[in-house]
Chain A
Amino acid sequence: MSYQFDFSFLAERWPDFVSGAWLTVQLTLLSIAFGFAVGTVCALIRVYGSPLLRRPVGFYVELIRNTPLLVQIFIVYFGLSSLGLKLSAETSAVIALVVNMGAYTTEIMRAGIQSIQRTQLEAADCLGLTRLQTILHVVLLPAMERVYPALSSQFVLLMLASSITSQISAEELTAVANNVQSDTYRSFEVYIVVAVVYLALSVLYRFGFWAVGLVLFARKRKLRTAL
């Protein structure tokens, strides 16, 4: 094989990669935050809500989980704009990612919430906690602690999936790669570089969520036992 690898484009274009990676981080953190909020509310509805609300939430979850993110992004970006709602690529990307993340979070958090025993709720009642206090301290935090590994790996998967938003020209990391490779014709090298950046980001995210877990679940940190 006589292929000569040539990474010289990095000398000139590295700021592009940095800004692309930064946008990826921004897009994904925003989507994770809002997606988690949507998913948690939906999960509470799915477990404790009235059947009238449970049905639509179940429908939303199944619909999103059984269709590709790429098509969801197209519907938000091209579909909504043809209906008259013009959104920028970045806004559409975040909306699609939030909707997607929300559905997966719903399923994960539902499992966590269902694992909270009735007796815990009764005990909270006896202690005179308000409904909101019960939900926050007795239901959500322990539920989250139980499913945290699944949750954080889903967050990392979302970060990786955000590369798909390059298809609607949101200028994140993969879109930058597409631009650079069409300028330099060093496609293989460009995607190797980007793959390495994504790997680094996913390691960084995993570490970050592990650290957040330490802060969030003080009980687990101090007692060193599983819930």
Chain B
Amino acid sequence: MIQLNANHFIYLLMAAEWTLLLSLIAFAGGALVGLPVALMRVSRFAALRILASGYIQLIQGTPLLIILFLSYFGLGILGFKLAPLVAAGLGLTLYAAAFLGEIWRGCIEAVPRTQWEASDCLGLNRFHQYAYVVLPQAMRIAIPPTVGFMVQIVKNTSLASVIGFVELARAGQIVNNSTFEPFVIFCAVAAIYFAMCYPLSLAARHLERKAHVGR
């Protein structure tokens, strides 16, 4: 058994960088896929709406852990064996896209109908309506809940540890295996997660208050 020392904590902090990287990948991927999902959800075409809501129901009704297993073993079948970062990134992207799609749908629908009508009167086409009228306004509404959801993403990257990706939670397990001081180590791990998530939570709350001042 090795005595717990400063190097172990440095190792945890280095692993936290991987957590941040994975969070960024998941958020970027989730945003990239989530926006089309949100737009499909409010589409004029029933087929697109059904497709998008089916996707959302499917992902929101399955544990992220299972999604990660499926993307890990599914990628394995396609021949991309042993790429935990890719598998974790893919699984978290699918997960984030479903939730962001649903959040953003609400924001798009929160833009008053009159805005649609006014832009119709001005002769804007569908694309221009979205690009210049609806989405800029929806974005302002969307910022607080999106920042709030980023907390969920950061926390949920901890599940990538189960498919062998060494991020903060997995690093905690590794350090624990050699030192066997679980209480201290996992409290330290929790503290690092807290340090990453709490500022996001505060920001989300602050933005929320600011958004409500105007009304």
- The answer to whether B187 touches A79, judged by C-beta atoms less than 8 angstroms apart, is yes
Is B182 in the interface zone, CB < 8 Å from A? yes
Which chain A residue has the least Cβ–Cβ distance from B170? A70
How many of chain A's residues touch chain B, expressed as a range?
Answer: 35 or more
Is B181 in the interface zone, CB < 8 Å from A? yes
- The answer to whether A62 touches B201, judged by C-beta atoms less than 8 angstroms apart, is yes
- The answer to whether A199 touches B201, judged by C-beta atoms less than 8 angstroms apart, is no
Stretch at the interface among A111-119, A190-198, A213-221: A190-198
- The answer to whether A188 touches B187, judged by C-beta atoms less than 8 angstroms apart, is no
Choice from A66, A71, A163, A202 contacting B198 with Cβ under 8 Å: A66
Within the assembled complex, what's the spacing in Å between the Cα atoms of A80 and B73?
34
* A:56-79 near B, CB below 8 Å: 62-63, 65-72, 74-75, 78-79
- The answer to whether A75 touches B70, judged by C-beta atoms less than 8 angstroms apart, is no
Is A161 in the interface zone, CB < 8 Å from B? yes
- The answer to whether B190 touches A71, judged by C-beta atoms less than 8 angstroms apart, is yes
Closest chain-B Cβ to A86's Cβ sits at a distance in Å of 13
The A interface, classified by DSSP as helix, strand, loop or mixed, is: helix
Is B1 in the interface zone, CB < 8 Å from A? no
Choice from A164, A174, A202 contacting B61 with Cβ under 8 Å: A202
Question: For residue B62, which residues in chain A have a CB less than 8 angstroms away from its CB?
Answer: 160, 195, 198-199, 202
Closest chain-A Cβ to B87's Cβ sits at a distance in Å of 12
Within the assembled complex, what's the spacing in Å between the Cα atoms of A201 and B11?
40
* A63, A72, A75 interface centre (most CB from chain B within 10 Å): A75
20 extra interchain contacts, Cβ-Cβ under 8 A, other than A74-B189, A164-B159, A195-B67?
A1-B77, A66-B194, A66-B198, A67-B190, A68-B193, A71-B172, A71-B190, A71-B193, A75-B182, A80-B183, A160-B63, A163-B66, A174-B63, A177-B69, A187-B69, A188-B70, A191-B70, A191-B73, A198-B61, A198-B62
